[in-house]
């Protein structure tokens, strides 16, 4: 299963030609540590919950102190904190590492693995924190697989994003065509050279947005193959069907787009789906990978056919 790695920055330059992403639419005795296979909700202090910086970030507190991204191996987790210079959550994660807190790791297909968070090792590199995970194994008898994102809080559960590659060729082609139709209706600006070009569906996945409501998330590309100035456009869409409908067209609910020179365009990718607590709305974890690094985002469903980017990380750079 493909997973997202933090980009290694090949150059320190920041090109003004990079197109911006355009969004359419947020004293006391310690209790014993939980067993390795069970996660506990992360306790937060009143100062933590009401920190203005946390409120501004849009981070979902039920997600725990950090978003984990798989590093160079399944046993390495890169921590992405709710906001830059977040010392409160860094200290909380340090404590959890000392106690060997259980961590849940999710794949895009809904796979769930468990591991124990180790102590942060001494690192010469300070661009990101790479935590060691111990005893990484499938949960609930699932088959072993790679993971994309992880959390250290029991309130987070995976949401399966089923690839259309598992469908029959006819059904797969029909959904890819539907994704292309929806992308053609996105009104975000693009370059003149992309007008009239066909969309190529790079990745299309189905999921359940709510009981009885089918949805898709799709990553599409358009390319201008000019030898001297190759251009690329990337579009990510979320679409839903009406409640109970199992056939017929989807309706666009969210889109974001990036375009520019092929080597500078921001790549959009959905990493996983999750729910942050009982009765919570579904959330997709999105990566926006550019020349300067990667930003991660929680794109959350607000209501019927309405999604929004609730939280976006600081730029993550590991070199």
On whether residue 20 sits in a domain, the answer given is no
196 shares a domain with 267? yes
Domain that residue 196 falls in: 162-312
Closest CA to 238 of 171, 159, 149: 159
Q: What is the pLDDT of residue 32?
A: 45
- Backbone CA torsion sign across 142, 144, 150, 154: positive
Q: What is the pLDDT of residue 144?
A: 59
- Backbone CA torsion sign across 147, 116, 80, 47: positive
- Backbone CA torsion sign across 158, 63, 203, 279: positive
46 shares a domain with 124? yes
Q: What is the pLDDT of residue 36?
A: 44
Q: What is the pLDDT of residue 114?
A: 93
Of 154, 186, 215, the last residue of a domain is: 154
Q: What is the pLDDT of residue 125?
A: 57
Q: What is the pLDDT of residue 232?
A: 95
Give a three-class secondary structure readout of the chain: CCCCCCCCCCCCCCCCCCCCCEEECCCCCCCCCCCCCCCCCCCCCHHHHCCHHHHHHCCCHHHCCCEEEECCCCCEEEEECCCCCCHHHHHHHHHHHHHCCEEEEECCCCCEEEEEECCCCCCCCCCCEEEEEEEEEECCCCCCCCCCEEECCCCEEEECCEEHHHCCHHHHHHHHHHHHHHHHCCCCCCCHHHCCCCCEEEEEEEEEEECCEEEEEEEEEEEECCCCCCEEEEEEEEEECCCCCCCCCCEEEEEEEEEEECCCCCEEEEEEEEEECCCCCEEEEEEEEECCEEEEEEEEEEECCEEEEEEECCCECCC
Q: What is the pLDDT of residue 167?
A: 92
303 shares a domain with 207? yes
186 shares a domain with 145? no
On whether residue 8 sits in a domain, the answer given is no
pTM above 0.75, yes or no: yes
Closest CA to 271 of 307, 236, 228: 236
286 shares a domain with 169? yes
Beta bridge partners of residue 130, listed in sequence order: 78
Whether the Cβ atoms of residue 270 and residue 297 lie closer than 8 Å to each other: no
Q: What is the pLDDT of residue 52?
A: 43
Query: How many independent structural domains does the chain possess?
Result: 2
On whether residue 318 sits in a domain, the answer given is no
On whether residue 14 sits in a domain, the answer given is no
Cα-based distances in Å from 297 to 59, 93, 137, 187, 289: 9, 20, 26, 21, 11
61 shares a domain with 171? no
> Per-residue pLDDT tens for 86-136?
999 999 999 999 999 999 999 988 889 999 999 888 765 556 889 999 999
167 shares a domain with 150? no
Closest CA to 20 of 211, 310, 290: 290
Residues 6+ apart with CB under 8 A from 33: 99, 100, 101
Whether the Cβ atoms of residue 134 and residue 115 lie closer than 8 Å to each other: yes
142 shares a domain with 78? yes
On whether residue 106 sits in a domain, the answer given is yes
Of 95, 130, 154, the last residue of a domain is: 154
Task: Extract the residue ranges of the chain whose pLDDT is less than 50.
Answer: 1-37, 43-52, 54, 319
264 shares a domain with 150? no
The Cα–Cα gap between 246 and 239 comes to 13
Q: What is the pLDDT of residue 170?
A: 94
């Amino acid at each position: 299963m493909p997973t997202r790695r933090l980009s290694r920055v090949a150059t320190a330059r920041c090109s003004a030609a990079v197109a911006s992403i355009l969004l359419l639419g947020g004293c006391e005795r310690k209790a014993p540590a939980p067993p390795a296979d069970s996660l506990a909700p992360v306790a937060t202090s009143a100062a933590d919950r009401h920190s203005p910086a946390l409120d501004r970030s849009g981070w979902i507190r039920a997600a725990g102190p950090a978003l984990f991204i798989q590093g160079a191996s399944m046993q390495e987790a890169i921590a992405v904190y709710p906001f830059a210079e977040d010392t409160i959550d860094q200290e909380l994660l340090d404590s959890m590492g000392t106690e060997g807190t259980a961590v849940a790791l999710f794949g895009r297909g809904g796979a769930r693995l468990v591991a124990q968070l180790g102590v942060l090792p001494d690192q010469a590199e300070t661009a990101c924190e790479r935590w060691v995970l111990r005893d990484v194994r499938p949960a609930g008898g699932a088959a072993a697989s790679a993971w994309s994102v992880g959390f250290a809080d029991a309130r987070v559960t995976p949401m399966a994003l089923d690839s259309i590659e598992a469908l029959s060729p006819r059904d797969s082609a029909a959904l890819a065509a539907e994704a292309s139709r929806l992308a053609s209706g996105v009104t975000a600006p693009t370059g003149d050279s992309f007008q009239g070009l066909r969309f190529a569906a790079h990745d299309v996945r189905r999921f359940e947005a709510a009981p009885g409501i089918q949805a898709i998330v799709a990553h599409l590309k358009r390319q201008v193959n000019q030898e001297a100035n190759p251009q690329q456009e990337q579009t990510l869409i979320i679409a839903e069907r009406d409640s109970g409908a199992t056939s017929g067209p989807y309706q666009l609910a969210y889109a974001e787009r990036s375009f520019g020179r092929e080597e500078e365009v921001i790549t959009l990718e959905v990493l996983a789906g999750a729910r942050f607590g009982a009765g919570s709305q579904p959330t997709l974890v999105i990566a926006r990978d550019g020349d300067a690094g990667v930003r991660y985002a929680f794109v959350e469903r607000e209501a019927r056919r309405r999604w929004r980017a609730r939280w976006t990380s600081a730029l993550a750079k590991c070199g």
